[in-house]
Structure 1
Amino acid sequence: MQRLWSAFVKLALLAVLGGALLIAFAVLVADRQLPSLDSLTAFRKTPDYVELRQFPPALREAVVAIEDDRFYLHDGVDYVGVMRAGIANLSDDLSQGASTITMQVARNFFLSRQKTYTRKLYEVLMAYRIERALTKDEILEIYLNKIYLGQGAYGFDEAAQTYFGKPVAQLTLAECAMLAGLPKAPSANNPVVNPRRARQRQTYILLRMMELGRISRAQYDAALLEPLRLR
């Protein structure tokens, strides 16, 4: 019996080692097939590109709070956030997703939205590559310029004009929170198509910002009372 158990343990160890080697080989092959980051560099030089300092701090805080509150702590993939989001999303579809801001940049520039393990592996590897090449602020800046926000608007500057008829720098806290709710579901959270849902999402983001210490209780209360004035 002891010899049988010993043989089983050896087989299990060999299986684990073989699986690890297979995964390592797959990662190596995938890494060699990744595209260059030239398109990111080119995008940052386009005429309508908005620098990070031109976005209001409230907008930057709102986006990070709801999309990736550990953005400045992880190295592209937030495993803590993945586990937390998985648990939270079982009961609350308003919570943040598992993809980091860096992973979303990788997906939007280089990958399809096809839900496969291969695509997810490429997304993770591209996120690590982007993190090595750019600063956190540069990554966030690209995200704020690129993400689709509904009504044909790409980037928060264009969305500010589309939804509120004003430059992004003039957005109020309430408006920032409203727009920050769009990346996860631009159609479902759209204030034009579904104002009730958009307001619900906005309230959640403002609460999240207060919980993280990004805004005070007074700012939270004032933003909730601000009427929605769409373009």
Structure 2
Amino acid sequence: MSVYFISGIDTDIGKSVAVGMMARDLHLRGKRVITMKLVQTGNDGFSEDLDKHRAMMNVPRFPEDEAGLTAPQIFRFPSSPHLAAKLEGRELDLDAIRRAVAEVSNHYEFVLLEGAGGLAVPLTEDLLTIDFAAELGCPLILVTSGRLGSLNHTILSIEAAANRDMRIAGVVYNRYPKADPIIDEDSPRMIRKYLKRNGMPETLVDLPEVREPLPRVDFSAIFTPEASK
């Protein structure tokens, strides 16, 4: 499966940076990789997250960016998609997202599909992000951190994915900003424990502070056939 769905366990957890760094690592390994946004809110016309990914990959915009395929649904108001669409008098076009994912995945080895916020963010009045991601059938990558409350959100996300038969290929543990060192020492252990309890690979990759010059982070443990099965 070339498409990976990336979700934060909460908002402002470092998901977009993690996606950019994963794309950068794959690109530097010579893989054909592209990032997409499931839905982009808080922007008008183009996704600033995608521009951030391209800068981190040190590549220009892709033809699929210019064609609108990598961010097929964009809304101006910075909120969950169901509300952002409502405020513009529009309906979220789920079929447009499905078509874009199918089209883009035909041309790349790896497609990193970034969600909006956490797994329970409503796409529509009746459809949560996690249910749409489960329908796509792609492996899940969770982005978390050591900030207070994250362990609760991470375990809930793991169990929600397991209840929908979603495979978690790995967890990215964002080390920036610095959390309490006692929490930072214990949380990865607990995350691995609950991954194992739910039949998932105990794959966790540390993401250090990302600033120029960008660090090289090895995400290869996440992108293995075994992790995605």
Same fold (TM over 0.5): no
TM-score (norm 1): 0.28
TM-score (norm 2): 0.28
Higher RCO, 1 or 2 (CA under 8 Å, sep at least 6)?
2
Higher strand share: 2
Higher helix share: 1
Bigger radius of gyration: 1
